[in-house]
Amino acid sequence: MIFENLEEIEQLSLAEKRRLLNPKNRFKLVKNLHRSNMMLNPLKLKHLNRLDQLEADAVTLNLEDAIAPSRKEEALINIALFLSYLKSTKSEIIIRINPLEEGGREEIAFLKEYCFNAIRISKVKSQEEVDEVAALIGSKKRVHISLETKEAFNSLSSWSPNSAFERANLGILDLLADLKLPQSLLTYNNATIAYILSKFLVDSKTIGVEPVSFMYQDYKNLEEFRKLCLWERSLGFRSKACMGPAQVAIANEIFAPSQEEIERAKEIKRVFEASAQRAINGFMHPKYGFIDEPIYRDACNILGFSA
C-alpha cells in the first residue's frame, strides 16, 4: 500500500491534496512481459493505493470516459498525489488522457514531470496527434493510443513509425459505435469482430506498434473471457485489456509463451546461430524439423516477447 492510513487521504480537500504533490518523486519504472493491461479509476482511492501490489503487467489510470466532467480535476489530482508517494511497482504505469481538444494537452502539461511510463491518447484520429504528444512529453516517456475511431482504424497502417509510439489499444465499443455497428456482434468467434481484430493487429504490426485487444466489460463472466483470450491468442495477440484482478490472472496465463515454446525457441536460436557461423542457413533438426532464417526469426520474436 502507498498510504497506511487511507482514511486521512480520503478526507482531504483538493486544495489540501495539491499541497502534498511532489512531481520530483522517483521510483524504478518497470518494463514487463506485456500480457495484461488493467484499467483503474482514479476516483477509487482504494484501488490507487494498491498500485505497488498489482499483478497486472501494465496499469492504465483512466482520466477519460469513466470520469464525469465535474470530477476530472479530482481524478487528475488523485493520480498526481499517488505518484508523488509511490516507492515501487510491479506494473508499467500508463495514464489515459482525454482527447487533446478536450483537456488532454492541459493534462499532459500538469502530469509530464511525474514518474510514469506512458501517456495514452483517447479518440485518436490521426498520426499528427501522436507526434504532438511525443513532442509534449519528452524523450523518456512513451506514447500509446486508444484506437476508437473509424478514421484511425482506416489509416493506421499508413502512419509513419515514431520511436515514441509504442502501443495501440483497441477500444472496440467506441469503434463499433463510430462504425454504426451493434455491440451485439461482440461475441466469441464472430466474423466481423474477427476481421476488426485481424486488421487492427496486422496494421499495428506493420508500423512496429504492439496491439492490445479490447476490454471485456462483463467482468464476472470469466468463462467467456477465457474463450476470448484463447481465440485472440490464436489470431496473434499477446496482450489484452483487463477489468479487475480475475481477468488479469487469466490474461497472464494465456498470453505468456509456454515453457515448451521458450525451450524450442532457445534451441532453434542456438543451433541456427552456430550453423550460420559455418555459412549454413538451412538444415534439419532431429526434434524440430527443417530450420531456416524465417524459423529462426520467429524464435527470436518469441524470446523477445518473453524476455
- Domain spans of the chain, in order of start: 6-256, 260-306
Are 282 and 290 a contacting pair, CB within 8 Å?
yes
Distances in Å between the Cα of 44 and the Cα atoms of 96, 146, 193, 249, 282 are 16, 22, 32, 21, 56
pTM: 0.87
pLDDT on residue 305: 58
Nearest to 159 by CA among 201, 195, 208: 208
Q: Are 231 and 238 in contact (CB under 8 A)?
A: no
Instruction: Tell me what pLDDT residue 189 has.
Output: 85
The confidence score (pLDDT) of residue 21 equals 98
Residue 170 near residue 212 (C-beta atoms within 8 A): yes
- Write the CATH number of the domain with boundaries 6-256: 3.20.20.60
Alpha-carbon distance 136 to 107, whole Å?
11
Give the pLDDT score at 242. 97
| Rounded Cα gap, residues 74 and 43, in angstroms | 7
> Are the C-beta atoms of 183 and 174 separated by less than 8 Å?
no
Residues 6+ positions from 124 with CB-CB distance below 8 Å: 99, 130, 145, 146, 147, 148, 149, 152
Q: pLDDT averaged over consecutive 10-residue blocks of the chain (307 residues)?
A: 94 97 96 90 96 96 94 97 97 97 96 97 95 92 97 96 93 96 91 97 95 95 95 94 96 85 78 85 86 80 62
Cα 297 versus chain centre, distance: 24
Query: Do you know the residue count of the chain?
Result: 307
At 103 the pLDDT is: 96
- Structure confidence at residue 187 (pLDDT): 87
What's the rounded Cα separation, in Å, for the pair 178 and 176?
5
Q: Looking at residue 277, what is its pLDDT?
A: 86
